[in-house]
Each structure stands twice: as structure tokens, then as C-alpha cells.
Amino acid sequence: MHKTKLVLFALLTFTMALSVNAKEVYYNVLNYGAKGDGKTNNTTAINTAIETAAKNGGGTVYFPAGNFLSYTIHLRSNITLYLDQGAILIGNKEMNGIGYDLPEEEDAWYKKFQDFGHSYWKNSLIYGDSLHDIAIIGNGMIWGKGLYTYDKPDIKGSGNKAIGLKNCYNVTIKDISILHGGHFCILVTGVDNLTIDNVRADADRDAFDIDCCKNVRVSNCNINSPTDDGLCLKSSFGLGYARATENVTITNCQVYGYDPGSLMNGTFKTEFKDEDPGAKHSITGRFKLGTESNGGFKNITVYNCVFEHSRGICIETADGGAIEDVLINNITMRDVTDVPFFIRLNARMRGPEGTLVGICRRITLSNINIYDVGGRPKFPEVGAGMVMGIPGHYIEDLTLSNIRIYYRGGASKEAIDKEVPQNINMYPDPYRWHSMPAYGMYFRYVKGLRVSDVVLRYMNHDERPAFVLEDVHDASFYNIDAQKGDGAPQFILKNVTNFSTHQVNGVDDTKLKKVDKKDL
């Protein structure tokens, strides 16, 4: 055979081999009847492509550029959904009872231990249960246009999650964007070996809820969540048993609370003002552990993150779980709408009878810069960092180091005498306290407290002390530079033992064995 013909034959054979191979692993939804016209309901076509790939051992289900309307998409093991640049998967609105899969039907005895949204996964745009080796990737977008922000069990076919996964392992969500994700942009429960990377989420309510998961990496994500939590770790009873969320690293993420949709279009608008006394909600968007906390949290690291026009950091155990070994490092925040950090152990006890009160210990916050905290008109005296256990149950071994905070401040000395309620069995959230006797940091029921290299300032004259400690034991303060008003003490101590200060401005080096009540 002529040499040229041999070369052409070889190229043709190679091309055919590639085509065969591509046919086995690459499934274009257009070939299964999907239309990216923004009008056609593509649910059957998309699910057929997934089922075909699954029967062939797995592969990539491909969405080219276009607007693809759909109801519930059923993921299968060994399947990747790839949304190409310009591809928009749109959650359709239910019509005449036709829509998303109905919520799980079983009448589980444990549903009462968590909110409706944490008990159901089937009513999602993308759903999977008991799967492995799955991915949702690409530079396209998921738009939850027809999803509800709140639970609508009375509306047949309604959906309220962009992505809902349960009891899965080896899961990757990468490079996609999610706009208007309903109640949750991503709800993952009992999902292990989870990677979420370079995802943009512009949420209606919660952006990422990572619940009862193990071995989790979240990195390089931009999250806008103005009306609910941005990046939230939970450990609910939604699986029917208590399971910890553990071995989690979160890095290089940004969390905002700007107007819905303004992250995705790059405007970062603030037409909604949290300062408006008639506002229907407060700006949220924050990193949180809790409130669902039956299984607890272990071995959590958060570092190199930015928070802006949002709330701060919440670490909460309310339902009996243990919070242990948490490190939060290299954080910057601006325009914090309530408090810089809120660490809470209480006893809501939403769980099976006989559940014991939780544990909160070995937590470190370090290398944190925060500017413009609290002092909003709705709750002008809220702003101080809050660390609170309850009687008989202490937060233990807490370290705060290398922290600089600028508060709005502006409260009068009358705020010092306001009673700080216990709120032992209530939903834990800073706004429930309304007022703090300190402008800087308030500690109650804490054992083993180390505070060092801290700078505190206020932008409006404030007559409260920087620190208030109540029922705190084994506490040391080192190298503290805290602004204080004329006549205001630096510390108010109530029922405090083993307390010491060294190089605290305005206070002589002090060691106190036991104090019932003292101002310093």
C-alpha cells in the first residue's frame, strides 16, 4: 500500500477508535432528546443519558451551551455531570402537580429533631442517595429558578434544593456556579470524601450545608448568602442516628451578604439595608458550626478566608454533640453586621430522650483582622464577641491570639447593668441577647481561657469595658491593647478564679486567686 494511504488509514483507524471510546464515556444530552431552548422540559432526556451511561459502567453526561429546563435529575454512581461554559441547568417551576420528586415518604420517628429541609433530599434539582464516585463540574451554571426558598410540602411537585446528596462517598463539585439555590444550594448529608472547589454560589438562603460528613475539603469558593448561612457545617439527626462532621478543611473562601444575585452579576449591591428598622430580615452570610449539632464536630480547620458585609463566625453545640479541636486562622472581616465570633454551648436538646448536654473544647482563633463590627440601629448594643456556656457546662480550653477588632460601639454605661439572659434551651443566635455589658468580648461559663496579642478599638464613644468575665476559671490575658472610655474599667470580673494579666494597657500586672466581683 502506498505510504500516504498507509498514513491516512492509520489516522482514520485512530479517529474511529477515539470515537468509539468517546461514545462509551461521553454522553451529550442533546443526543437523548434534550433541547437547550429554555422552553423544553428535559427531565426525561437528561435522566435517560445518565441511565445509559450508568448501564455502560459510568462516564460523563455532557451539557453544551444552552438553557436546559428540568425537574429532578437522578445521579448514579460513576457519573460526572459536566456543564460546559454557557450551559445553564434551570430548575423548572412545578405545574399542575407535575414537578420535582416528592419528599421521602417514610414517617421516620426522628424527623422532629431537625428542620424539614434537613429531613428530605428527593425534592432537589440534582439528587443522589447511596452513590459513589460522582462529580458535578464545568464552568456552567445551575439556576434554581423554580425552587422555593422555604419548605412547601403542601405544593405537589415543589422543589427546594439545587443539589441534595445523602449517604454518598467520593464526591466532587467543582468550578460550577449556582444561582438561587432555593433553601440550599448544596445539601450534603452523610457524604464522605467530599471536595467542593472553585464554586460560586449566589444563594436565596443557605449556600453550603455540610451535614454529618467526613473527610471534607472546601476551597476557593465565593459565596453570597444575604438571608441565611453561607458556609455551614451541621451534624443533624437527619440520618436517623448521631454522626459527627469531622476532618474538614476550609480554605481560600470568601463569604458575603450582599443583595441576592449581585455576586453573580458582579455588582455587589446593598440596596437592602440591615440598618432599616423595618427590615424583614437581618443580613446573615457567615461561617457556622451548628445549630443542628446532635453528632458534634471534630478536627475542623478554617484558614485564609474573607468575610464582608455579613455576620462573623458561629461555633455552636445545642443538641448534645461535642465540638472538639477547631482551628480558625488567617481571617479578615469587614462590615460585620452583628458579632465577630459567637461560641455557644447550650441545651436546646432537640434529639432522642436521654441525650446529654454537649461539650465544647480545644478551640483556637488566631491571626484575625476585623473592621466595622456591630452597632446597627436594630440592636445597637450587640457587637461584642460572645463566648457562653451554661451553668454546670463550661466551654473549655479556648485560645484567642493575634486579633485586631474595630467596633462601631456607641453604647452608654447603662448597658453594663443590663441582665444577660441565659437562654439555655433556645435557638442559639447572637440577636437573642440584644445587649452586652462589654463592647469587646464577653465570657461566661468558661474554663481554660488564653487571650493574647489583642487590639480592640471602637469608632464611636463607648462607656462599656472591653472585657466582662462571669463564672470564668483559669484565665490569662497577655499583651492586650484595648481602648476604653474615661472612667470605664478594662475588666469586670464576677465569680472568677485563677485570673492573671500581663502587659494589659491601663491595668497593672495582676494575679487573682478568687474574685466575687471586681473592676480592673
pLDDT tens, position by position, 36-47: 999 999 999 999
Strand partners, 381: 435
CB contact at 8 A, 361 and 334: no
- Quick one: 58 exposed, middle or buried, by C-beta within 10 A (0-12, 13-18, 19+)? middle
Distance CA(492)–CA(472), nearest Å, equals: 11
CA-based end-to-end distance of the chain: 99
At residue 507, the pLDDT reads 95
* Cβ-based neighbours of 419, under 8 Å, separated by 6 or more: none
Considering the entire predicted model, what is its pTM? Answer: 0.93
Q: Per-residue pLDDT for 12 more than 50?
A: no
Look-up of cell digits 481561657: 449
Residue 364 pLDDT exceeds 90: yes
Q: Give yes or no for residue 171 having a pLDDT over 50.
A: yes
Share of the chain above pLDDT 70, in %: 93
Give me 264's grid cell: 453573580
Residue 309 is predicted with a pLDDT of 94
Is beta strand 177-179 parallel, antiparallel or unpaired with respect to 141-143? Answer: parallel
Question: Residues 181-186: what's their mean pLDDT?
Answer: 96
Query: What CA–CA distance (Å, rounded) separates 163 from 518?
Result: 53
Cell 485586631 -> residue: 404
Preceding peptide of 291 cis, ω within 30° = yes
User: Please, which pLDDT band fits residue 9 given cuts at 50, 70 and 90?
Assistant: very low
430 phi and psi angles, rounded to 5 deg = -55, -35
Q: What is the DSSP letter of 381?
A: B
pLDDT band at 275 (very low <50, low <70, confident <90, very high): low
Nearest to 341 by CA among 256, 193, 442: 442
CA distances from 340 to 120, 268, 365, 407, 454 (A): 32, 21, 11, 9, 13
Question: pLDDT band at 2, cuts 50/70/90?
Answer: low
Residue with cell 480550653: 397
The band of 205, judged by pLDDT with boundaries at 50, 70 and 90, is: very high
Over residues 315-360, the pLDDT tens digits come to 999 999 999 999 999 999 999 999 999 999 999 999 999 999 999 9
Judging by beta carbons within 10 Å of its beta carbon (0-12, 13-18, 19+), is residue 182 exposed, middle or buried? buried
Half-sphere exposure of 64 (CA within 13 A, CB side): 11
* Averaged pLDDT of the chain: 92
Is residue 10 scored above 50 in pLDDT?
no
Query: pLDDT digits over 422-481, tens only?
Result: 999 999 999 899 889 999 999 999 999 999 999 999 999 999 999 999 999 999 999 999
The SS3 assignment for 384 reads: coil
CA pair distance 117, 114, nearest whole angstrom: 8
| pLDDT score at 101 | 96
Going along 276-434, which residue ranges are E strands? 287-293, 297-310, 313-317, 322-336, 341-345, 359-373, 385-388, 395-409
What are the φ/ψ torsions at residue 414 (nearest 5 degrees)?
-60, -25
Per-residue model confidence as pLDDT tens digits over 50-101: 999 999 999 999 999 999 999 999 999 999 999 999 999 999 999 998 999 9
Q: Give the chain's length.
A: 520
